[in-house]
Structure 1
Amino acid sequence: MLERGLWILVAALLVAVVWVAFFLPEGEEAAHPGHRALPLAAEPVGGDFRLSREGESFDLAKHRGKVVLLYFGYTHCPDVCPSSLVMMRHALERMEPDQLEQVRGVFVSVDPERDDPARLQEYARFFHPRIMGVSGTHDQLEQAGRLYGSAWQRTETDSAMGYAVDHSSNTYVIDRDGRLVEILPHGADADQILATILPLLTED
Structure 2
Amino acid sequence: MKNRTLISASLLCLTMILLSNTAMAKMPILKGMGGDFTLQSSKGYEVSLSDYQDKVVMLFFGYTNCPDICPTTIAHISQMIKTLTPEQRKRVQVLFISIDTDYDTPEHLNKYLEYFDPSFIGLVDEREKIDHVAKLYHAEYSKLANEKVTTEFKKLSVDDEQQEEKGCLYSHSAKIFIIDTQSRVRGFFYVGTPVNDMKEQVTSLF
Does the TM-score normalized on the shorter chain lie above 0.5?
yes
Of 178, 186, 196 in structure 2, the residue corresponding to residue 191 of structure 1 is 196
- Residue in 1 that maps onto 2:5: none
> How many residues are paired up?
159
Mapped to 1, the partners of 2:33 and 2:124 lie a distance apart of 20
**CA positional deviation for 1:191:** 1.9
Mapped to 2, the partners of 1:46 and 1:122 lie a distance apart of 27
- Residue in 2 that maps onto 1:40: none
- Residue in 2 that maps onto 1:86: 75
5+ residue gaps, structure 1: 1-42
- Residue in 2 that maps onto 1:27: none
**CA positional deviation for 1:129:** 2.1
- Residue in 1 that maps onto 2:25: none
**CA positional deviation for 1:44:** 5.8
Normalised to the residue count of structure 2, the TM-score between the two structures is 0.72
Contact 1:103–1:130 (CA<8 Å) still a contact in 2?
A: no
Of 84, 101, 110 in structure 2, the residue corresponding to residue 112 of structure 1 is 101
- Residue in 1 that maps onto 2:128: 139
5+ residue gaps, structure 2: 1-30, 151-165
The secondary structure found in structure 2 opposite 1:78 is coil
- Residue in 2 that maps onto 1:164: 169
Alignment partner of 1:68 is 2:57: yes
Alignment partner of 1:46 is 2:31: no
> Would the alpha carbon gap of residues 159 and 173 (structure 1) be closer, same or farther in structure 2, given more than 3 Å must change?
closer
- Residue in 2 that maps onto 1:200: 205
Contact 1:73–1:108 (CA<8 Å) still a contact in 2?
A: yes
> Would the alpha carbon gap of residues 155 and 191 (structure 1) be closer, same or farther in structure 2, given more than 3 Å must change?
same
Contact 2:56–2:202 (CA<8 Å) still a contact in 1?
A: yes
Looking at CA atoms only, which structure, 1 or 2, has the larger radius of gyration? 2
Please report the RMSD computed on the Cα atoms of aligned residues, expressed in angstroms.
1.6
Contact 1:70–1:107 (CA<8 Å) still a contact in 2?
A: yes
Contact 1:44–1:146 (CA<8 Å) still a contact in 2?
A: no
Of the structure 1 ranges 122-131 and 57-66, higher mean CA displacement relative to structure 2 is found in 122-131
